[in-house]
Amino acid sequence: MSEKNMISDETIEYVGILAKLELNDEEKERAKKDMGDMLDYIDKLNELDTSGVEPMSHVFPVNNVFREDVVTNGDGSKDTLANAPVMKDGGFKVPKTIG
């Protein structure tokens, strides 16, 4: 862990409060080391020359996979209502079930 990425005790306390964690002293020291290692790794990645790399949001190309919403066979209501014993206003007429 480099000197510039040393994590302070106050930072660990603050992160613990935000995450609602109660860490003992050993866990705090391990968290400080882990966070510092992560920041060192980010610094290492920032050294890479990415000037010719196109930014992306996914590793694989993502295309719209949804089909166009087009009615192909209608709703079939006429065929369905053809079997109704009694129709009313384009629907089935049924006996009243609530008093």
Q: Mean pLDDT throughout 57-69? A: 80
Q: What is the pLDDT of residue 59?
A: 82
CA distance 88 to 92: 6
pLDDT band at 1 (very low <50, low <70, confident <90, very high): low
- What are the structural domains, with CATH classification, of the chain? 3-46 (1.10.20)
Indicate the pTM of the whole model. Answer: 0.50
Q: What burial letters (b/e) apply to 28-64, b meaning 16+ CB within 10 Å?
A: beebbeebbeebeeeeeeeeeeeeeeeeeeeeeeeee
Nearest one of 27, 21, 28 to 7, comparing CA atoms: 28
